[in-house]
A and B are shown apart, each in its own frame.
Chain A
Protein backbone atom coordinates (compact mmCIF):
# COMPACT_ATOMS: atom_id res chain seq x y z
CA UNK A 1 0.00 0.00 0.00
CA UNK A 2 2.90 2.31 0.75
CA UNK A 3 4.30 1.66 -2.73
CA UNK A 4 0.90 2.42 -4.27
CA UNK A 5 0.67 5.62 -2.25
CA UNK A 6 4.06 6.51 -3.78
CA UNK A 7 2.42 6.06 -7.22
CA UNK A 8 4.13 2.74 -7.99
CA UNK A 9 2.13 1.41 -10.91
CA UNK A 10 3.61 -2.10 -10.64
CA UNK A 11 2.48 -2.32 -7.01
CA UNK A 12 -1.09 -1.51 -8.04
CA UNK A 13 -0.93 -4.13 -10.80
CA UNK A 14 0.28 -6.66 -8.22
CA UNK A 15 -2.57 -5.81 -5.86
CA UNK A 16 -5.05 -6.08 -8.73
CA UNK A 17 -3.70 -9.51 -9.68
CA UNK A 18 -3.95 -10.71 -6.09
CA UNK A 19 -7.51 -9.55 -5.40
CA UNK A 20 -9.31 -9.19 -8.74
CA UNK A 21 -10.90 -12.63 -8.62
CA UNK A 22 -12.27 -12.29 -5.09
CA UNK A 23 -13.48 -8.73 -5.61
CA UNK A 24 -14.99 -9.42 -9.00
CA UNK A 25 -16.79 -12.48 -7.58
CA UNK A 26 -18.14 -10.28 -4.79
CA UNK A 27 -19.29 -7.58 -7.22
CA UNK A 28 -20.89 -10.14 -9.52
CA UNK A 29 -22.75 -11.59 -6.56
CA UNK A 30 -24.04 -8.10 -5.69
CA UNK A 31 -24.74 -6.78 -9.19
CA UNK A 32 -25.19 -9.91 -11.30
CA UNK A 33 -24.05 -7.97 -14.34
CA UNK A 34 -20.54 -8.27 -15.81
CA UNK A 35 -20.44 -4.80 -17.30
CA UNK A 36 -21.53 -3.07 -14.10
CA UNK A 37 -19.29 -5.28 -11.96
CA UNK A 38 -16.24 -4.53 -14.12
CA UNK A 39 -17.01 -0.84 -14.05
CA UNK A 40 -17.22 -0.86 -10.25
CA UNK A 41 -14.06 -2.99 -9.97
CA UNK A 42 -12.20 -0.41 -12.02
CA UNK A 43 -13.58 2.39 -9.80
CA UNK A 44 -12.42 0.51 -6.71
CA UNK A 45 -8.83 0.18 -7.91
CA UNK A 46 -8.79 3.79 -9.10
CA UNK A 47 -9.88 4.82 -5.64
CA UNK A 48 -7.14 2.63 -4.17
CA UNK A 49 -4.64 4.35 -6.47
CA UNK A 50 -5.80 7.79 -5.41
CA UNK A 51 -6.31 7.09 -1.73
CA UNK A 52 -3.76 4.44 -0.79
CA UNK A 53 -2.21 6.99 1.58
CA UNK A 54 -5.44 6.89 3.63
CA UNK A 55 -5.03 3.18 4.28
CA UNK A 56 -4.40 2.70 7.98
CA UNK A 57 -2.71 -0.63 8.62
CA UNK A 58 -3.61 -0.39 12.31
CA UNK A 59 -7.30 -0.60 11.42
CA UNK A 60 -7.05 -3.74 9.34
CA UNK A 61 -5.32 -5.55 6.54
CA UNK A 62 -5.64 -4.67 2.85
CA UNK A 63 -8.12 -7.52 2.37
CA UNK A 64 -10.63 -5.95 4.76
CA UNK A 65 -10.11 -2.48 3.28
CA UNK A 66 -10.49 -3.65 -0.31
CA UNK A 67 -13.49 -5.86 0.36
CA UNK A 68 -15.22 -3.15 2.38
CA UNK A 69 -14.55 -0.62 -0.37
CA UNK A 70 -15.71 -2.94 -3.16
CA UNK A 71 -18.81 -4.03 -1.31
CA UNK A 72 -19.76 -0.46 -0.46
CA UNK A 73 -19.30 0.70 -4.08
CA UNK A 74 -21.18 -2.37 -5.31
CA UNK A 75 -24.15 -1.72 -3.02
CA UNK A 76 -24.17 1.97 -4.01
CA UNK A 77 -24.28 0.94 -7.68
CA UNK A 78 -27.00 -1.63 -6.98
CA UNK A 79 -29.13 1.03 -5.28
CA UNK A 80 -28.61 3.55 -8.04
CA UNK A 81 -29.44 0.95 -10.68
CA UNK A 82 -32.52 -0.18 -8.81
CA UNK A 83 -33.62 3.39 -8.30
CA UNK A 84 -32.93 4.41 -11.88
CA UNK A 85 -34.23 1.43 -13.72
CA UNK A 86 -36.30 -0.35 -11.10
CA UNK A 87 -34.31 -3.41 -11.87
CA UNK A 88 -35.31 -6.23 -9.62
CA UNK A 89 -31.96 -7.90 -9.61
CA UNK A 90 -32.64 -9.94 -6.50
CA UNK A 91 -34.53 -13.08 -7.35
CA UNK A 92 -33.50 -13.04 -10.99
CA UNK A 93 -29.86 -13.82 -10.48
CA UNK A 94 -28.32 -15.62 -13.37
CA UNK A 95 -25.74 -18.25 -12.77
CA UNK A 96 -22.50 -16.73 -13.97
CA UNK A 97 -19.49 -18.67 -14.93
CA UNK A 98 -17.25 -18.93 -11.92
CA UNK A 99 -13.57 -19.62 -12.18
CA UNK A 100 -12.38 -22.97 -11.03
CA UNK A 101 -10.55 -23.09 -7.74
CA UNK A 102 -7.38 -23.63 -9.73
CA UNK A 103 -7.68 -20.10 -11.00
CA UNK A 104 -7.49 -18.71 -7.52
CA UNK A 105 -4.66 -20.03 -5.42
CA UNK A 106 -5.00 -22.89 -3.00
CA UNK A 107 -4.57 -20.63 0.00
CA UNK A 108 -7.57 -18.52 -0.90
CA UNK A 109 -9.55 -21.67 -1.63
CA UNK A 110 -8.85 -22.85 1.87
CA UNK A 111 -10.04 -19.54 3.30
CA UNK A 112 -13.20 -19.79 1.23
CA UNK A 113 -13.74 -23.31 2.51
CA UNK A 114 -13.49 -22.12 6.11
CA UNK A 115 -16.01 -19.33 5.55
CA UNK A 116 -18.38 -21.60 3.63
CA UNK A 117 -18.18 -24.19 6.40
CA UNK A 118 -18.77 -21.57 9.07
CA UNK A 119 -21.82 -20.27 7.19
CA UNK A 120 -23.11 -23.81 6.73
CA UNK A 121 -23.13 -24.19 10.50
CA UNK A 122 -25.44 -21.21 10.95
CA UNK A 123 -29.15 -21.93 10.98
CA UNK A 124 -30.86 -20.58 7.87
CA UNK A 125 -32.88 -18.10 9.94
CA UNK A 126 -29.59 -16.49 11.08
CA UNK A 127 -27.72 -16.84 7.80
CA UNK A 128 -30.36 -15.30 5.50
CA UNK A 129 -30.50 -11.90 7.20
CA UNK A 130 -26.69 -11.70 7.05
CA UNK A 131 -26.64 -12.52 3.35
CA UNK A 132 -29.47 -10.07 2.57
CA UNK A 133 -27.62 -7.33 4.41
CA UNK A 134 -24.23 -8.10 2.92
CA UNK A 135 -25.02 -8.89 -0.70
CA UNK A 136 -28.31 -7.04 -1.23
CA UNK A 137 -27.56 -4.02 0.97
CA UNK A 138 -30.84 -4.29 2.86
CA UNK A 139 -31.37 -2.62 6.22
CA UNK A 140 -32.84 -4.49 9.17
CA UNK A 141 -36.30 -3.07 8.50
CA UNK A 142 -36.09 -4.06 4.84
CA UNK A 143 -34.92 -7.54 5.81
CA UNK A 144 -37.82 -7.89 8.26
CA UNK A 145 -40.25 -6.93 5.48
CA UNK A 146 -38.57 -9.28 2.99
CA UNK A 147 -38.67 -12.21 5.41
CA UNK A 148 -42.03 -11.35 6.93
CA UNK A 149 -40.49 -11.46 10.41
CA UNK A 150 -40.78 -8.94 13.27
CA UNK A 151 -37.98 -6.36 13.32
CA UNK A 152 -36.89 -7.33 16.84
CA UNK A 153 -36.55 -10.96 15.77
CA UNK A 154 -34.44 -9.98 12.76
CA UNK A 155 -32.16 -7.86 14.94
CA UNK A 156 -31.67 -10.72 17.40
CA UNK A 157 -31.00 -13.26 14.65
CA UNK A 158 -28.49 -11.00 12.95
CA UNK A 159 -26.67 -10.36 16.18
CA UNK A 160 -26.60 -14.05 17.08
CA UNK A 161 -25.56 -15.00 13.53
CA UNK A 162 -22.66 -12.54 13.34
CA UNK A 163 -21.44 -13.52 16.81
CA UNK A 164 -21.53 -17.19 15.90
CA UNK A 165 -19.73 -16.50 12.64
CA UNK A 166 -17.02 -14.63 14.51
CA UNK A 167 -16.65 -17.50 17.00
CA UNK A 168 -16.43 -20.05 14.19
CA UNK A 169 -13.70 -18.07 12.45
CA UNK A 170 -11.89 -17.13 15.66
CA UNK A 171 -8.40 -18.49 15.98
CA UNK A 172 -8.17 -18.82 12.24
CA UNK A 173 -7.16 -15.20 11.84
CA UNK A 174 -3.51 -16.02 11.28
CA UNK A 175 -4.20 -18.56 8.57
CA UNK A 176 -6.58 -16.07 6.98
CA UNK A 177 -3.78 -13.58 6.67
CA UNK A 178 -6.23 -10.69 6.94
Chain B
Protein backbone atom coordinates (compact mmCIF):
# COMPACT_ATOMS: atom_id res chain seq x y z
CA UNK B 1 0.00 0.00 0.00
CA UNK B 2 1.40 3.40 -0.92
CA UNK B 3 1.23 6.64 1.02
CA UNK B 4 -1.71 8.00 -0.98
CA UNK B 5 -3.77 4.89 -0.25
CA UNK B 6 -3.44 5.63 3.45
CA UNK B 7 -4.27 9.31 2.93
CA UNK B 8 -7.48 8.34 1.17
CA UNK B 9 -8.53 6.27 4.17
CA UNK B 10 -8.09 9.11 6.65
CA UNK B 11 -11.45 10.95 6.13
CA UNK B 12 -13.35 7.72 6.84
CA UNK B 13 -11.11 7.06 9.85
CA UNK B 14 -12.02 10.51 11.23
CA UNK B 15 -15.65 9.33 11.12
CA UNK B 16 -14.53 5.99 12.67
CA UNK B 17 -16.18 4.29 9.72
CA UNK B 18 -13.27 2.14 8.58
CA UNK B 19 -13.69 -1.61 8.74
CA UNK B 20 -11.47 -3.34 11.30
CA UNK B 21 -8.83 -4.54 8.82
CA UNK B 22 -8.47 -1.11 7.19
CA UNK B 23 -8.39 0.55 10.59
CA UNK B 24 -5.60 -1.72 11.75
CA UNK B 25 -3.34 -1.07 8.75
CA UNK B 26 -4.00 2.66 8.89
CA UNK B 27 -3.25 2.79 12.63
CA UNK B 28 0.07 1.06 11.96
CA UNK B 29 0.86 3.65 9.30
CA UNK B 30 -0.25 6.55 11.52
CA UNK B 31 2.15 5.42 14.21
CA UNK B 32 5.01 6.12 11.80
CA UNK B 33 3.74 9.02 9.66
CA UNK B 34 3.56 12.51 11.16
CA UNK B 35 2.08 13.97 7.97
CA UNK B 36 -0.87 11.59 8.08
CA UNK B 37 -1.36 12.26 11.80
CA UNK B 38 -1.65 15.97 11.00
CA UNK B 39 -4.09 15.12 8.21
CA UNK B 40 -6.16 13.08 10.63
CA UNK B 41 -6.38 16.04 13.04
CA UNK B 42 -7.66 18.22 10.20
CA UNK B 43 -10.25 15.65 9.18
CA UNK B 44 -11.34 15.23 12.79
CA UNK B 45 -12.06 18.96 12.88
CA UNK B 46 -14.21 18.63 9.77
CA UNK B 47 -16.01 15.61 11.20
CA UNK B 48 -16.67 17.45 14.49
CA UNK B 49 -18.68 20.04 12.55
CA UNK B 50 -21.29 17.38 11.87
CA UNK B 51 -22.24 17.57 15.55
CA UNK B 52 -23.67 21.00 14.84
CA UNK B 53 -26.23 19.49 12.48
CA UNK B 54 -27.93 17.89 15.50
CA UNK B 55 -30.60 20.03 17.16
CA UNK B 56 -29.22 21.74 20.25
CA UNK B 57 -30.99 20.39 23.31
CA UNK B 58 -31.06 21.29 26.97
CA UNK B 59 -30.24 18.56 29.49
CA UNK B 60 -32.13 18.61 32.79
CA UNK B 61 -30.93 21.33 35.20
CA UNK B 62 -30.26 18.68 37.86
CA UNK B 63 -27.49 17.19 35.73
CA UNK B 64 -25.23 20.21 36.27
CA UNK B 65 -25.57 19.92 40.04
CA UNK B 66 -25.08 16.16 39.90
CA UNK B 67 -21.89 16.60 37.91
CA UNK B 68 -20.53 19.29 40.22
CA UNK B 69 -21.39 17.24 43.31
CA UNK B 70 -19.49 14.31 41.87
CA UNK B 71 -16.37 16.29 41.04
CA UNK B 72 -16.50 17.92 44.48
CA UNK B 73 -16.60 14.52 46.11
CA UNK B 74 -13.66 13.36 43.95
CA UNK B 75 -11.77 16.49 44.87
CA UNK B 76 -12.53 16.04 48.57
CA UNK B 77 -11.44 12.42 48.30
CA UNK B 78 -8.09 13.50 46.88
CA UNK B 79 -7.63 16.21 49.50
CA UNK B 80 -8.53 13.77 52.28
CA UNK B 81 -6.13 11.17 50.91
CA UNK B 82 -3.35 13.75 50.64
CA UNK B 83 -4.10 15.06 54.12
CA UNK B 84 -4.14 11.63 55.63
CA UNK B 85 -0.81 10.78 53.98
CA UNK B 86 0.74 14.01 55.24
CA UNK B 87 -0.69 13.49 58.72
CA UNK B 88 0.56 9.92 58.79
CA UNK B 89 3.99 10.89 57.60
CA UNK B 90 4.04 13.73 60.11
CA UNK B 91 3.31 11.40 62.99
CA UNK B 92 5.89 8.87 61.81
CA UNK B 93 8.65 10.86 60.30
CA UNK B 94 9.06 14.03 62.32
CA UNK B 95 9.94 12.48 65.71
CA UNK B 96 12.31 9.96 64.15
CA UNK B 97 13.87 12.50 61.83
CA UNK B 98 15.04 14.83 64.55
CA UNK B 99 18.72 14.89 65.49
CA UNK B 100 19.61 12.13 67.90
CA UNK B 101 20.75 14.54 70.60
CA UNK B 102 17.15 15.76 70.91
CA UNK B 103 15.59 12.38 70.54
CA UNK B 104 16.04 11.25 74.13
CA UNK B 105 14.62 14.52 75.42
CA UNK B 106 11.59 14.35 73.23
CA UNK B 107 10.88 10.70 73.82
CA UNK B 108 11.44 10.88 77.53
CA UNK B 109 11.65 7.20 78.29
CA UNK B 110 12.10 3.71 76.91
CA UNK B 111 8.38 3.26 77.30
CA UNK B 112 7.82 5.87 74.62
CA UNK B 113 10.17 4.04 72.25
CA UNK B 114 8.26 0.84 72.84
CA UNK B 115 5.00 2.68 72.20
CA UNK B 116 6.30 4.07 68.92
CA UNK B 117 7.56 0.65 67.81
CA UNK B 118 4.22 -0.84 68.77
CA UNK B 119 2.39 1.88 66.90
CA UNK B 120 4.53 1.35 63.79
CA UNK B 121 3.95 -2.40 64.01
CA UNK B 122 0.25 -1.76 64.34
CA UNK B 123 0.27 0.44 61.25
CA UNK B 124 2.11 -2.25 59.29
CA UNK B 125 -0.37 -4.89 60.49
CA UNK B 126 -3.34 -2.72 59.56
CA UNK B 127 -1.85 -2.14 56.13
CA UNK B 128 -1.21 -5.86 55.63
CA UNK B 129 -4.73 -6.70 56.79
CA UNK B 130 -6.14 -4.10 54.42
CA UNK B 131 -4.14 -5.64 51.56
CA UNK B 132 -5.24 -9.15 52.48
CA UNK B 133 -8.83 -7.99 52.72
CA UNK B 134 -8.59 -6.43 49.28
CA UNK B 135 -7.11 -9.63 47.84
CA UNK B 136 -9.86 -11.67 49.49
CA UNK B 137 -12.54 -9.38 48.09
CA UNK B 138 -11.03 -9.70 44.62
CA UNK B 139 -10.85 -13.46 44.86
CA UNK B 140 -14.34 -13.66 46.28
CA UNK B 141 -15.75 -11.62 43.42
CA UNK B 142 -13.83 -13.74 40.94
CA UNK B 143 -15.04 -17.03 42.43
CA UNK B 144 -18.62 -15.78 42.55
CA UNK B 145 -18.40 -15.16 38.83
CA UNK B 146 -16.82 -18.54 38.12
CA UNK B 147 -19.61 -20.27 40.04
CA UNK B 148 -22.40 -18.37 38.32
CA UNK B 149 -24.39 -20.48 35.84
CA UNK B 150 -23.05 -20.24 32.30
CA UNK B 151 -19.91 -18.41 33.36
CA UNK B 152 -16.69 -18.64 31.36
CA UNK B 153 -13.04 -18.08 32.17
CA UNK B 154 -10.35 -16.97 29.75
CA UNK B 155 -6.67 -17.27 30.61
CA UNK B 156 -4.37 -14.52 29.38
CA UNK B 157 -0.61 -14.99 29.11
CA UNK B 158 2.14 -12.40 29.18
CA UNK B 159 3.61 -11.41 25.82
CA UNK B 160 7.27 -10.53 25.23
CA UNK B 161 6.51 -7.20 26.96
CA UNK B 162 5.80 -9.00 30.24
CA UNK B 163 6.81 -12.65 30.03
CA UNK B 164 6.05 -13.33 33.70
CA UNK B 165 2.58 -11.80 33.62
CA UNK B 166 -0.69 -13.69 33.55
CA UNK B 167 -4.37 -12.95 34.07
CA UNK B 168 -7.76 -14.60 34.30
CA UNK B 169 -10.91 -13.04 33.00
CA UNK B 170 -14.17 -14.49 34.32
CA UNK B 171 -17.59 -13.42 33.13
CA UNK B 172 -21.14 -14.61 33.50
CA UNK B 173 -23.84 -14.91 30.87
CA UNK B 174 -24.90 -11.29 31.39
CA UNK B 175 -21.38 -10.17 30.52
CA UNK B 176 -20.49 -9.09 34.07
CA UNK B 177 -16.75 -9.62 34.15
CA UNK B 178 -13.85 -9.59 36.55
CA UNK B 179 -10.20 -9.61 35.59
CA UNK B 180 -7.34 -10.49 37.93
CA UNK B 181 -3.84 -9.87 36.60
CA UNK B 182 -0.44 -10.71 38.09
CA UNK B 183 3.16 -9.91 37.29
CA UNK B 184 2.58 -6.73 35.30
CA UNK B 185 5.26 -4.05 35.27
CA UNK B 186 4.29 -0.86 37.03
CA UNK B 187 2.43 1.51 34.70
CA UNK B 188 4.43 4.71 34.07
CA UNK B 189 2.99 8.07 35.16
CA UNK B 190 -0.06 8.97 33.06
CA UNK B 191 -0.50 5.42 31.78
CA UNK B 192 -2.83 2.55 32.66
CA UNK B 193 -3.46 -0.92 31.38
CA UNK B 194 -6.58 -1.30 29.25
CA UNK B 195 -8.57 -4.44 28.52
CA UNK B 196 -9.69 -5.14 24.94
CA UNK B 197 -12.25 -7.54 23.51
CA UNK B 198 -11.20 -8.46 19.97
CA UNK B 199 -14.01 -9.77 17.81
CA UNK B 200 -13.36 -10.43 14.10
CA UNK B 201 -10.10 -8.52 14.42
CA UNK B 202 -11.93 -5.46 15.74
CA UNK B 203 -10.84 -4.36 19.22
CA UNK B 204 -13.70 -3.24 21.46
CA UNK B 205 -12.43 -1.12 24.36
CA UNK B 206 -12.73 -2.29 27.96
CA UNK B 207 -11.90 -0.50 31.18
CA UNK B 208 -8.49 0.47 32.52
CA UNK B 209 -6.61 -0.45 35.67
CA UNK B 210 -3.27 0.20 37.32
CA UNK B 211 -1.50 -2.68 39.09
CA UNK B 212 -0.16 -2.25 42.61
CA UNK B 213 3.54 -2.37 43.54
CA UNK B 214 3.49 -6.18 43.40
CA UNK B 215 2.19 -6.18 39.82
CA UNK B 216 -1.31 -7.31 40.79
CA UNK B 217 -4.32 -5.58 39.32
CA UNK B 218 -8.03 -6.19 38.99
CA UNK B 219 -11.03 -4.64 37.34
CA UNK B 220 -14.76 -5.01 36.92
CA UNK B 221 -16.11 -4.65 33.42
CA UNK B 222 -18.96 -5.56 31.13
CA UNK B 223 -18.09 -7.87 28.23
CA UNK B 224 -19.81 -6.67 25.04
CA UNK B 225 -22.31 -9.27 23.84
CA UNK B 226 -20.43 -9.77 20.59
CA UNK B 227 -17.39 -10.92 22.59
CA UNK B 228 -19.13 -13.33 24.98
CA UNK B 229 -19.24 -16.38 22.69
CA UNK B 230 -15.76 -16.33 21.31
CA UNK B 231 -13.17 -13.60 21.38
CA UNK B 232 -9.56 -12.75 21.90
CA UNK B 233 -8.82 -10.70 25.00
CA UNK B 234 -5.82 -8.44 25.30
CA UNK B 235 -4.36 -5.93 27.71
CA UNK B 236 -2.35 -2.99 26.39
CA UNK B 237 -0.62 -0.04 28.02
CA UNK B 238 -2.49 3.16 27.16
CA UNK B 239 -2.91 6.76 28.29
CA UNK B 240 -4.67 6.86 31.68
CA UNK B 241 -8.44 6.72 31.32
CA UNK B 242 -8.22 4.59 28.18
CA UNK B 243 -8.56 5.12 24.45
CA UNK B 244 -11.03 4.03 21.78
CA UNK B 245 -8.52 2.18 19.60
CA UNK B 246 -5.41 0.49 20.99
CA UNK B 247 -2.19 2.45 20.58
CA UNK B 248 0.19 0.75 23.00
CA UNK B 249 2.02 -2.56 23.21
CA UNK B 250 0.15 -5.75 24.14
CA UNK B 251 1.15 -7.11 27.57
CA UNK B 252 -1.39 -9.91 27.97
CA UNK B 253 -3.31 -11.95 25.46
CA UNK B 254 -5.65 -14.92 25.57
CA UNK B 255 -8.75 -16.37 24.02
CA UNK B 256 -11.69 -18.63 24.61
Contact = CB atoms under 8 A, between A and B. Distances in A.
B71 A49 contact: yes
B114 interface: no
Given A12-B71, A49-B71, A134-B47, A96 B16 contact: no
B2 interface: no
A167 B205 CA distance: 33
A16 B57 CA distance: 13
A1 interface: no
Nearest to A13: B68
B44 A68 contact: yes
Nearest to B40: A59
Interface range on chain A (Cβ under 8 Å from partner): 35 or more
Given A25-B57, A28-B57, A155-B12, A139 B52 contact: no
A139 B17 contact: yes
Given A64-B45, A155-B12, A163-B11, A9 B71 contact: yes
Contacts of A71: 48, 51
Contacts of A26: 51, 54
A13 B255 CA distance: 44
Interface SS of A by simple majority:
helix
B183 interface: no
B12 A103 contact: no
Interface in B16-55: 16-20, 22, 41-55
A108 B51 CA distance: 12
A103 B210 CA distance: 42
Given A64-B44, A159-B8, A165 B49 contact: yes
A112 interface: yes
A15 to B, nearest CB: 11
15 contacts: A7-B75, A12-B68, A20-B59, A26-B51, A38-B59, A76-B205, A80-B224, A83-B225, A133-B15, A135-B54, A140-B19, A162-B15, A162-B46, A169-B49, A176-B49
A133 B41 CA distance: 18
B94 interface: no
A89 interface: no
Interface range on chain B (Cβ under 8 Å from partner): 35 or more
A28 B54 contact: yes
Contacts of B64: 13, 16-17, 20
Interface in A8-55: 9, 12-13, 16-17, 20-26, 28-29, 34, 37-38, 41-42, 45-47, 49-51, 54
B59 A24 contact: yes
Contacts of A21: 56-58
Contacts of A165: 46, 49
Interface in A58-101: 59-60, 63-64, 67-68, 70-72, 75-76, 79-80, 83-84, 96-99, 101
Interface string B67-82: 1101110110010000
Given A25-B55, A112-B53, A138-B17, A38 B63 contact: yes
Given A24-B58, A46-B71, 7 more contacts: A38-B60, A60-B44, A79-B224, A98-B56, A112-B53, A119-B50, A162-B43
Nearest to B55: A98
Contacts of A9: 68, 71-72, 75
Contacts of A25: 51, 54-57
A141 interface: yes
Nearest to B224: A83
Contacts of A64: 44-45, 48
Interface string A156-178: 00110011011001000000101
Interface in A115-131: 115-116, 118-119, 129-131
